[in-house]
Structure formats: structure tokens, C-alpha cells
Amino acid sequence: MGFFWWFSMIAIFHFITAKLISSDPSLSPPNKLSLTSSEFLNFANKREVFDWMVGIRRKLHENPELSSEEFQTSELIRRELDTLGVSYKYPVAVTGVIGYIGTGQPPFVALRADMDALPIQEMVEWEHKSKVPGKMHACGHDAHVTMLLGAAKILKEHEKDIQGTVVLVFQPAEERDGGAKRIIDAGALENVSAIFGLHVLPNIPIGEVGSRSGPIMAGSDFFEAVISGKGGHAAFPQHSIDPILAASNVIVSLQHLVSREADPLDSQVVTISKFHGGGAFNVIPDSVTIGGTFRAFSKQSLMQLRQRIVEVITGQAAVQRCNTTVNFIESSLISAVINDGKLHEHFRQVAEDMLGEGKVNNEMKPIMGSEDFSSYQEVIPGYFFFIGMEDASSFGPLESLHSPNFRVNEDVLPYGAALHASLAGNYLVKFQQHVKVATETGHNDEL
């Protein structure tokens, strides 16, 4: 009797364990990808597809538009979606476009590309240089739009295999004006289960990607302060109240917020990037305007910096007998980009399947740059990653983002298009598999 009792207990244990593993995707061995990542990359690398993407990127680069002014950009996107036979909504958040590929039914997964350029005069001399004085795609958003259109082409080609709906988010105003929040407020992401976004980076080798679970980009805010004194002749400073001296003391004191008040293990930045005051060598001005940015990885740290910036500017100016007004730029507060842990595992599997294990940096160091992609992550699970462009042997060194000498290595376009398509398509496959298992076992968890 003892033998049969132990045999029964062992059989029951194995049955329960098998059920638990089959009902939890995080415990199951990875499913073979139904939509093959390598096939997507091969498709994107076809000469006709690559040339098509290069043509789009160069048209966008020649005609950059600033935040909330992306009318020609939006028109080009809609024209290409019409050619591909992709349905879309327009306008969304004034210039935004939301496309749809798949069944039109749940589940929904989103892919996002930002559209806007920067107020920078391009210094790169080449055939497709910006035609608009003082405006340039210096952050690679022209490449981002192109890669999302490339993903649309791939997904449309494989639409019969899509088990749900891929939502294409062409977002305006990432650089300013809170474009992501406006997309959300317009209801464009209702019922979307997850969203993916990418950014080109010049210091990662071509064919490689980097990201991490958890915080990957800092939150940020911007401020401007007017420090007012009393102007007069520079030869008689005793008859004036010098706002330049006051502003100088303010700037030095602001640096102490990080060096002496912040936890050294809690990365923070305060940078003064604007200082305007005076117009003559022998005149003390009435006022000085300074401005800058502050960054941190938590809302609590951002709010603490905001409070102390006001106190330091006001207090230090008062020491020099000056008055101040401090303003925080409307809609400039951006939360940190924090990647969802389960989506990180999905990204790792898809990226390694496409590029190879050695080409995926899963523990990329967080950076102090900010991105309004975080607005999406505040309402749905989201994942943001960086894709490399560096190829010194054939393309030479690349300048940093936001530089007037910034260039895009167009060999990155197939990688971004294929990764976008594979992340979305295979997310829907996994989602459907999980829904099936959950239905069978009585669980209702999301992926």
C-alpha cells in the first residue's frame, strides 16, 4: 500500500507542476516564433525595399518640420500608407497618423515613431541636406518614421499571419509640446496591450541593439528665470544692482544641488544652458535671463529639484538685492522611461533571434536623455530600445544626437523596420497563446 501511495503522490505532483508551467508563460520554455525574425530582416534588406526606405528618409530629411508643424511629414506618411493599402485615422493630435494592420480585432499592440525635427541649422554638406533654413532632423526622427513605414510594409505583406491588430503610431511633437500625451488624450491607444518604440544611436555598432529592464532614460523638466536688478554705468557699479553678478552666483549655487544634496547613487543633472544679459561693454543691464534643464530617474527627485531650484534662485538673487521670477516651461515635465520587465524578455528573445545573442546588450547603462515615450508607459506596458548606426570602416565617425553635424547611417533602416515588425507580430502570437492557456486553466493574466 505504501508503494502505491507514494507512486500516486509523485504522479499528482508531476501533473500539478506541468499545469503550472503550461499556464505561466514566464515559466514555459520559449515558443518558436511563428513570424520568423530573420525572414523579416531578409525582406527589409531586399534592394527594392531598402531603396524605397532610403528615398522616404531623404525626402523627410530635406523637408524637416518642427513640433506640431509636421503637416508635410504627415502627408507623406498618409500617401505611403495609401499605397500600401493600410487603413489609418487622421488627424490625431493635429498632425499625427494612426495606422492599423491585421484583423482589426483584439489584441492590439502599438509601434511608435516620432515625426518632428529640431531648430538647428544643418552643417552636413550632402545632396539631401535640409532645404529649410534653421531646421534639421538632428535626432533621427526621419529614420524613425521611415523604419515604421518599413515595418508597415513587412506586416502588410504578412497580414494573414497577424493574430490581432498592429497599431502604427506616427507621433508629432516629441521634442516639445507633449505629443505622446496628446496621442493618449485623443484615445488612440484605447485597448492597446503594449507599445514599443526605438531610437537610433550613433555610438552603438550597426546591427546591434541596447536596452534594459527598468529605468533606461531620465525624466526631465525645463525652467527659465528672470533676475532683475538696476541698470547703470559699468564705471559706477555702486549706483547699480548688478543682475549679472547675481545670476553668476545663482548658477554656481545650483550646481550644489547635485553635488551636495542628491544621493550619489541617485543620478541627477542640473544644467544651465541659457544666459542672456546686457548688450554693451560699459552698461550694467537691468535684468538677466537664465534657463536650463534638470533630470532624474524618479518623480520624487524631479519634484525635489524643482522646489530647490526656485529656493536657490530666489535666495541667491536676494543676497545680491535682486528680484526674481522663476517659470517652468508648460508641458515640459517628462517622466523617466521605465521598461516593462516582461516586455524586456520578449525584446531579448526577438532581438537575439534576429541579430544573434552577441548583438543584444540587455544591460545597457541608463542615460540622462529624456523621451516622452514615458507618457505611454504611464498608461500601458511599454518598451523602448536603442538601435546602432556606428560603422567606422565604411561610414566614418558619427556625431552625437542634436548636433548640426549629425548623420544617419541608412544601413540601419532594415534593422529597425524588421525589429519593429517582429516585436509586434510575435507579441500578438504570444498573447494569443497565453489567452488560450488562460482560458483552459481559468487564469486571466495578460502577457
Say yes or no to pLDDT of 157 above 60: yes
pLDDT of residue 74: 98
Q: Which domain holds residue 259?
A: 219-328
Are 124 and 177 part of one and the same domain?
yes
Say yes or no to pLDDT of 21 above 70: no
Q: Which of 282, 298, 328 is the last residue of a domain?
A: 328
Q: Is 141 annotated as a binding residue?
A: yes
Question: Is 86 among the domain residues?
Answer: yes
Could you tell me the CATH number of the domain that includes residue 245? Answer: 3.30.70.360
Q: Is 199 annotated as a binding residue?
A: yes
Side chain identity at residue 114, one-letter code: D
Are 51 and 172 part of one and the same domain?
yes
In this prediction, residues 71-96 reach a mean pLDDT of 98
Question: Is 269 among the domain residues?
Answer: yes
CB 223 within 8 A of CB 329: yes
The CA angle 374-209-360, to the nearest 5 degrees, is: 115
Closest C-alpha to 410, from 26, 50, 71:
50
Query: How far is residue 274's CA from residue 377's CA, in Å, rounded to a whole number?
Result: 31
Per residue in 212-252, pLDDT (tens digit) is: 999 999 999 999 999 999 999 999 999 999 999 999 999 99
Q: Which of 273, 298, 328 is the last residue of a domain?
A: 328
Per residue in 324-369, pLDDT (tens digit) is: 999 998 768 999 999 999 999 999 999 999 999 999 999 999 999 9
Q: Is 322 annotated as a binding residue?
A: no
CA-to-CA dists, residue 368 to 116, 175, 270, angstroms: 21, 15, 11
Per residue in 249-304, pLDDT (tens digit) is: 999 999 999 999 999 999 999 999 999 999 999 999 999 999 999 999 999 999 99
Are 253 and 274 part of one and the same domain?
yes
Question: Is 170 among the domain residues?
Answer: yes
pLDDT of residue 35: 60
Question: Is 446 among the domain residues?
Answer: no
Q: Is 139 annotated as a binding residue?
A: yes
Q: Which of 294, 328, 362 is the last residue of a domain?
A: 328
Say yes or no to pLDDT of 434 above 70: no
Question: Is 50 among the domain residues?
Answer: yes
pLDDT of residue 365: 96
pLDDT of residue 433: 67
Question: Is 374 among the domain residues?
Answer: yes
End-to-end CA distance of the chain: 44
Are 75 and 182 part of one and the same domain?
yes
Say yes or no to pLDDT of 85 above 70: yes
Are 272 and 383 part of one and the same domain?
no
Question: Is 370 among the domain residues?
Answer: yes
Question: Is 296 among the domain residues?
Answer: yes
Are 68 and 213 part of one and the same domain?
yes
Are 238 and 359 part of one and the same domain?
no
Query: How far is residue 95's CA from residue 86's CA, in Å, rounded to a whole number?
Result: 18
Contacts for 331 with CB less than 8 Å, ≥ 6 apart: 176, 177, 178, 181
pLDDT of residue 166: 98
Query: How far is residue 373's CA from residue 139's CA, in Å, rounded to a whole number?
Result: 15
Are 428 and 310 part of one and the same domain?
no
* Number of other residues whose CB lies within 10 A of the CB of residue 28: 14
Could you tell me the CATH number of the domain that includes residue 94? Answer: 3.40.630.10
Are 176 and 44 part of one and the same domain?
yes
pLDDT of residue 17: 39
**How many domains does the chain contain in total?**
2
pLDDT of residue 393: 84
Q: Helix (H, G, I), strand (E, B), or coil: what is residue 284? A: strand
Say yes or no to pLDDT of 444 above 70: no
Per-residue pLDDT band for 14 (boundaries 50, 70, 90) equals: very low
Are 347 and 425 part of one and the same domain?
yes
Higher pLDDT, residue 8 or 192: 192
Q: Is 175 annotated as a binding residue?
A: yes
Are 153 and 293 part of one and the same domain?
no
Are 324 and 179 part of one and the same domain?
no
